[in-house]
Every structure is written in C-alpha cells, then in structure tokens.
Structure 1
Amino acid sequence: MRRLLLTGATASVLVAGTLAPSALARGGGDGCHPTPANQPVCPRVAAADSASFLDPTARVSGGEHVSLGEQVYVGPFAELLAAEEAPITIGPSSNAQDNVTLDARGGTGIEVGDRVILAHGSSVLGTAEVGVHASPLPPAVVDAGVQTYDGSVFMSFGSQVEDATIEVNSGVSALARVAPGVTLHSGYLVLPGKNVTTQAEADDPALGKVRYLNQGDVEFNEGVIHVNEALAREYTELYREDPTAVRGVNVDPGHTDFNRDRDLPSFAGREQARPQFRNRIIGEVYLSDPFARFADRVGDRVAIRADEGEPFVIGHVDRMGDDVIFHALEHTDIHVGDDVRYGDGAIVHGGGRVVLQGQPEEQTVVGDHVRLGAESVVFRSTIGDGATIGDRSAVVGTELPTGAVVPPDTIVLNGQVFGSVEW
C-alpha cells in the first residue's frame, strides 16, 4: 500500500465510516507505568504481542504518573515528562517516535488516545488531549464516503500541539501548530506550516489553515499504526534475546512483513555493533566514514533507524548536529552524498515519489555538499548537489535542482512553494 504524507494542499473529497468505541476510549489510564522496573518492556513480564516498548534512550520523568496502553512504541530519545499533578496517558496502539516530546509539567496533564501517531520531532505540551474525543465528521467528508476504520490521529514531523484538543480522525501536518484553547474537530487536518490560533481557523477550510480529511490520510495512518505495533513486538523479542542488542549501534529487529532480516550497520565497509555508543544507529545503514570519524562529527540524540525502510547509504559527513533523525517508510530507502551538513533537529525521511504513473517511485536522495538547516525536513524528495534548505523549512515530494536555496521557514510541496512556517 502506497502511503501519502498528511500534507496535501488541496481539500480532496472523501466517506465517513463508523467510529469504533475503542477510538473513543480514554485509553491507557489503567495501563503500564514505565518506571525503571518496566523499561524497556512495559510491563516487563507482558507477552510480546501485547507489550509496549520504550527505546532505552527514551527519557521518562515521573514514570509512576505515566500510563501506557498495550502495543505502544516509544522511539529513540523521545521524552515523556509527567508529574503527580500533570500525568500522561497513552492509549493502545499509539506511538511516540524519535525525539518526540510530551511535556505535561506546565499544565494539568496530557491524554493521548488509541491509535495516535506522534511522528518524529513532534511535541505535545501543557494540558492537551489528542485522539480522545470525537465529533461528527463534516458533511464534505461524509459525502465523499471516507472510511475511517477504528479512527486515528496523525501529528507529522516537527508539529506541535500546546494546551489544545485534537479529536479523533484529524491531523496536524509537518511543521504546523495548534495553539492554546483551540479544538481541531474530527475530519480536519492542519496544513503544513500553519499556526492555527483561533477556533474559526480550525473550523473553516476557506480561511486557508485546514483542509478536510481524505481516504489517503486514513490509509496512511493504518500503515503507520501497523508498523509501530510490529516494532513494539519485535523490539521486545529482540531485547529478551539479547538486552544489549537494543542499544547504540546495533541490529534492527527484523521478523516483520516490511523488514524481514536483521542487519547490522557498517562503517567504511565494516559491519559492527557498538552497544555503548551514545546515539542509535540501527539496521542496514551503510556509512562511508569509519566509526571514529563518524562519532567525532555527530552530535547527541541522533537516531538513524533503518528498521522499517532500508537501506540507508550515507556518504562522508561534514557535520551532524544534535537530534538529527533518519527514517524511511516501508519498502523505501535513502541515499545521501558526501560533505552534507545537518543542522540540529534535521529530519531526512525516505518515501517514494511518483514521477510518472505506472513507473517505479523515485526514492529519497540527498546530493553532495547539501546544507540542511536546523529542524528542516526532507521527505519523498531529491535534493540536488550544493542545495541549501533553511532552518525550519520542509521539502516534500519535490525534485530540488542543483544549487537551489530554500529560505528559512518555507514549505516546498510537490515542486511548488506552498507557504511559510507561521510560528
């Protein structure tokens, strides 16, 4: 199944399905508390097909006030920050991916429902509900016949929700934000880079901040949920076979329908595991640099995770900042050239890009001497040699020519400048 990013610029017409009761549950309230005794597997004695898994690099503060439902995956360097007066719950089959932040300490608690996707670098802050409640879908979505299955929510790369409510069957696109006091109702998605600050902006696509949910969005979410449930299960199995195998430079868990084999990363042609390394380099990753040179040139909290799509081929690194993330959709890969510089929090995400219908999808490629700004995003794109992508900009579904310059805070979508990052 080909998956599309929740960032379409047009309001595609869509069909309303029946929302299953599980999607309305305030999931996770009686779940597992990820205290040290319940990490990385939560609960520690759970069967693999029901356990939740937290990467050992994930940071949990106030774990007794955090509750996880079944089959939750928490990725490398994610942060779950709770307190007695500000608990966090995450419902079954949800995930908090690499470098995600849930920080409830400035509010009264964060509640994440069932089947919620918190993608790389996204954040939920203060007092917030994500995927807990639902309202009737808008007539445009009902008339289009969107089938919503069991309901879901998708928060895309670098998005943020602060002191706000995100209902079931909605989403927040890359580098977009929902501001305090706003409710994003079922059937609406915030467009890339938009800052929704009023209820009117959240409710009316004509104001240019949101669009209607479509069937492609729903199918994308189903695929992501399936992958992360499988990762929770297989990382649990891997940990139980060898606790060191889920740390540092190491194998991917394999044994899934999207990534069957376990592979080790290689540095300058040499496969190796280094469980004590401060960053997470996972699976079929081919790095041109010897390990010592790579380690010297990269920052902290870096996650290069080839446990879904593979392989990743990464040329000689000029400099890689903190919090950089590599990942790829199933059956896609990433190729990056030499002398690339990565700003703090940059995300390179593999995914196919359709150039001609009926032809194979173009994979994600970053050329030589490219400069990726802090918190920038590259997804389903080809970036030409010597190109520069500014801080907090996203290039999605685009072939960027040699030497191109994308200014800071700019969204480039399907080959066109879509708009600016408004916050």
Structure 2
Amino acid sequence: MRRALLTGSAATAVVVGTLTPALAQTDERRCSPTRENVPVCSTDGSVATATFLDPTVTVTGARHVGLGQRGYVGPFAELHATRHAPISVGASSNVQDNVLLDARGGSGIRVGDRVILAHGSSVRGSASVGIESSPLPPQVAGTVDTLEGSVFLSFGSEVDGATVEIDSGVSALARVAPGVTLPSGFLVLPGKNVTTDAEASDPALGKVRYLTQADVAFNEAVIHVNESLARAYTELYREDPGAVHGVNLDPGHTEFNPDADLPSFAGDEQARPDSRNRVIGDVDLADTYDRFTQRTGERIAIRADEGEPFVVGHVDEMDDDVVFHALEHTDVHVGDDVRYGEGAIVHGGGRVVVEGQPEEQTVVGDRVRLGDGSVVFRSTIGDGARIGDRSGVVGTDLPAGTVVPPDTIVLNGEVFGAVEW
C-alpha cells in the first residue's frame, strides 16, 4: 500500500513564458509547460496521456516548448528555448535527470517520438534527434527482427548542432559534432567524438558500430519504464501535490516498483519536501539528514523509483548535479567515505558474469573517488579506487585501489579508449 503522503509547497517548475498559439496549433497533442501546465502537462490531461515534469525542472521560453504525450522529464532537467529557437519533444520520449536541451544560439531543437535522453546528456544548438530516417544498412536490416523506431542518448553524451536519425544511438560520454548526421542503424561508441559524416556511417573508422537487437530491446524497456513513471508521478501529484517535492516518496504503482517508499536517514524514515535536492523512494542513507545536507551540493537526484533499494554509506563529499538511478529489478550499494565529483553518475544494472547465474549488482566500495562527470554503470568498484574526471566504467569489476585516468573509458574489464572531446 502507498504510505501516508506528506504535503509540502505547491508544485511548480521554474518556468518563464506563456503559451504561443502557433505552437499549440502545430500539433494538438503537444503541451507547452507554462505555469498552469506543470508539473502535469497538460494540467487537466488524462493520467494515461499526461506528461510529467519534476518540479525542479527549469524551462525558459516555455511558450516555445512543446511536449508530446506520455513523456517524463526528470529532476533538474533544463529546457531553454526562444522565439527563434523552439524546442519540441515527441510522444513517449523522456528527458532524464540533469539533461540539458539548449536551443539558444541555434534555430531550434526537434526531438521525435520514443527518444531516450539519459542522465546528464545534452542537445545543443540547431539539432534533430529521432526525426529523420534513412534506409538501414544491410548488416542491421538482416539481423534486427523488429524496429519500433527509437533513439538512445546515453549518460553524459552530447549532440551539438547535429542530426541523429531514428533507430540510432550515442553511447556514454560520446558526442556527435556540429553538422554531422548519424544515420539510422548506427550507434556511436563510448567516448568517441564523431566529427564527419564518414565517421558516422563507417564502422571501419572506429567511431560507430551497427545497431543490434539487444540495443532495440533495451530501448523498448526504458521507454516503457518512463511512460509508466509519467503516469505514476501524475497520480501521485494529484493525490498529494507535496509528495513530488524534495526528499519524498517514489510513486510506486508500477509492475517494476509496486510499493511507494520513503527514504531513510540513519535509520529514520522521513520526508523533507523542502529539501533543495531530490531523494526519492527506498534509499537507505547512513548519514542523518542534517549531516547529509551539510555534505552535499545542489541539483542532486537520488531516484529509487525504478530499481531499488539504494544503500548509501556515510558521504565524504557530494558535489552538485550528482545522479543515482538503477534499471528495473536492480539495486545500488555504495560504501563509506565516497567522494562524488560534480555531475557524477552512479547507475545500477545487472552484470552477467557467469551465464545462467544471477547477475552481479552495482557496488561502489569504501573511500572511492568519483571525478567530475564520471559514470559508473553495471560495475563493481573496489575500495579506494579513483575514477578520473569524465571517465566511464561500464560492465567492469574494478579492483581495489585502481586508478582510472581522466577521460578514459573502461568497458567490460578493458580500457576501451579515450573520451575524445
């Protein structure tokens, strides 16, 4: 059962602007996130079709922003549009924690249906993601059975003034540079900086690979989860507007996370709707609330509304823009005296070690140092390890004391290469 809801301040995202009739008439399914349309857009929409924006989302030029139905916009995301540089986001797309959509200085950003903008990713300038398409290369058309049309921009990736076509993707800490088109059927490899159309469409040049059936299946699962979160958060808000603020409940009522839970601090389960950060759901923190607040910065999202539980030891220091999240049916365990750099991402997910055996969960040991903009996903990080600024550790059991230099990708236990931009 959902626990008793605790009320707080009225739910409002930071919004500047009013509705533009021209935008509303372009597509009747679109909603502009003006003050009357947050955190549920549109405010009187049905639970089945409404888009939910976390109250911490920042929107400028709101009348020049159009959001499709069944979307989820996560904590501390930013959308910046102007009259001459609008932003549109299609149906069943999600804009996750600390994502940046900044059309200022360009002619606008268009994001299509079923696009995943994962934690810490960014789209800048004049850009198109998931709008155009081209024929799939034979290597994809002959091996991928079903394509529903989707795009995945992974953790810390960037699309800067570029075109990313339907049925493609950009891996963690990778980039598509201005003027480049990433065609359908290709995925940019982790950390790579794609600067030409040739690099975007020729795996032999070492920047991209072909899309696989596993990529498609992963996208489908993520899209379903975020559609479910849009519905569940809308229900939670309508039941109690204060429950979507600060330290508070996850919404529950989904097949992957059925129960609504409160975070606990030093064993004390509590809600703090006025907290400057978002700590959501079954998060067990070793620190008291006061100590945690003293040790942490701003725009922090620790969101156990999909995978759970999160067990977090005593925090040494946590800088701004840190994100915790986990895939459904997975958890995160973090040790004591960990230092989190600005924009660090810790994301739970199962890692297959022995075929047929239970997957290894994501664990970060004691006294670990996570650099600014670093990413940990589906990995075990040994005690005392140091991960450099803008480095990623994915699918790896990293031994205790290991030092990962800045701008380095460690993938499946091996150094994959540099973050090139």
TM-score, normalisation: structure 2: 0.93
What secondary structure sits across from 1:392 in the alignment? coil
Say which of 318, 336, 339 aligns to 1:338: 336
Cα 1:92–1:84 shift into 2, 3 Å: same
* 1:184-220 deviation line (CA, Å, top 9, x unaligned): 0000000000000011100100000000000000000
Matched letter for residue 378 of structure 1: V
Distance across 2 between alignment mates of 1:203 and 1:396 = 24
Cα 1:30–1:237 shift into 2, 3 Å: closer
What secondary structure sits across from 1:67 in the alignment? strand
Say which of 176, 196, 214 aligns to 2:194: 196
Distance across 1 between alignment mates of 2:311 and 2:341 = 19
**What displacement does 1:314 show?**
0.1
What secondary structure sits across from 1:222 in the alignment? helix
Distance across 1 between alignment mates of 2:419 and 2:61 = 33
1:24 aligns with: none
1:326 aligns with: 324
**What displacement does 1:146 show?**
3.5
2:70 aligns with: 71
Say which of 357, 367, 370 aligns to 1:372: 370
Query: What is the aligned length?
Result: 396
1:406 aligns with: 404
1:17 aligns with: none
The 5 A counterparts of 1:93-172 are 93-148=92-147, 150-172=148-170
Distance across 1 between alignment mates of 2:113 and 2:37 = 21
Cα 1:29–1:343 shift into 2, 3 Å: farther
Distance across 2 between alignment mates of 1:146 and 1:84 = 42
Indicate the RMSD between aligned Cα atoms, in angstroms: 0.9
Q: More displaced, 136-145 or 166-175?
A: 136-145
1:304 aligns with: 302
Say which of 323, 329, 352 aligns to 1:354: 352
Is the 1:146–1:214 contact (alpha carbons within 8 Å) kept by the matching residues of 2?
Answer: no
* 1:12-33 deviation line (CA, Å, top 9, x unaligned): xxxxxxxxxxxxxxx9685000
What secondary structure sits across from 2:242 in the alignment? helix
Matched letter for residue 343 of structure 1: G
Distance across 1 between alignment mates of 2:27 and 2:142 = 33
Is the 1:28–1:90 contact (alpha carbons within 8 Å) kept by the matching residues of 2?
Answer: no
What secondary structure sits across from 2:415 in the alignment? strand
Is the 2:172–2:190 contact (alpha carbons within 8 Å) kept by the matching residues of 1?
Answer: yes
Matched letter for residue 31 of structure 2: C
Whether 1:289 aligns to 2:291 is no
**What displacement does 1:144 show?**
1.7
What secondary structure sits across from 2:156 in the alignment? coil
1:19 aligns with: none
- Identity rate, percent: 72
Is the 1:170–1:187 contact (alpha carbons within 8 Å) kept by the matching residues of 2?
Answer: yes
What secondary structure sits across from 1:144 in the alignment? coil
The 5 A counterparts of 1:9-24 are none
Is the 1:397–1:414 contact (alpha carbons within 8 Å) kept by the matching residues of 2?
Answer: yes
**What displacement does 1:343 show?**
0.1
1:391 aligns with: 389
Distance across 1 between alignment mates of 2:28 and 2:178 = 24
What secondary structure sits across from 1:37 in the alignment? helix
What secondary structure sits across from 2:142 in the alignment? helix
Distance across 2 between alignment mates of 1:160 and 1:125 = 8
Distance across 2 between alignment mates of 1:303 and 1:29 = 32
Distance across 2 between alignment mates of 1:263 and 1:142 = 44
What secondary structure sits across from 1:218 in the alignment? helix
* 1:49-84 deviation line (CA, Å, top 9, x unaligned): 100000000001011000011001000000010011
**What displacement does 1:133 show?**
1.0
Matched letter for residue 291 of structure 1: Y
Distance across 1 between alignment mates of 2:269 and 2:209 = 46
* 1:278-315 deviation line (CA, Å, top 9, x unaligned): 00000000000000000000000000000000000000
Distance across 2 between alignment mates of 1:394 and 1:375 = 9
Say which of 414, 417, 420 aligns to 1:419: 417
Which stretches in structure 1 are left out of the alignment for 5+ residues?
1-26
The 5 A counterparts of 1:242-281 are 242-281=240-279
**What displacement does 1:145 show?**
3.7
Distance across 1 between alignment mates of 2:244 and 2:184 = 37
Say which of 215, 235, 238 aligns to 2:236: 238
Distance across 2 between alignment mates of 1:104 and 1:111 = 9
Runs of 4 or more, structure 1, over 3 Å off, are: 27-30
Distance across 2 between alignment mates of 1:387 and 1:61 = 40
Is the 1:162–1:178 contact (alpha carbons within 8 Å) kept by the matching residues of 2?
Answer: yes
Is the 1:34–1:64 contact (alpha carbons within 8 Å) kept by the matching residues of 2?
Answer: yes
Which stretches in structure 2 are left out of the alignment for 5+ residues?
1-25
Q: More displaced, 136-145 or 71-80?
A: 136-145
Whether 1:215 aligns to 2:213 is yes
Is the 1:28–1:92 contact (alpha carbons within 8 Å) kept by the matching residues of 2?
Answer: no
1:45 aligns with: 44
What secondary structure sits across from 2:284 in the alignment? strand
Matched letter for residue 50 of structure 1: T
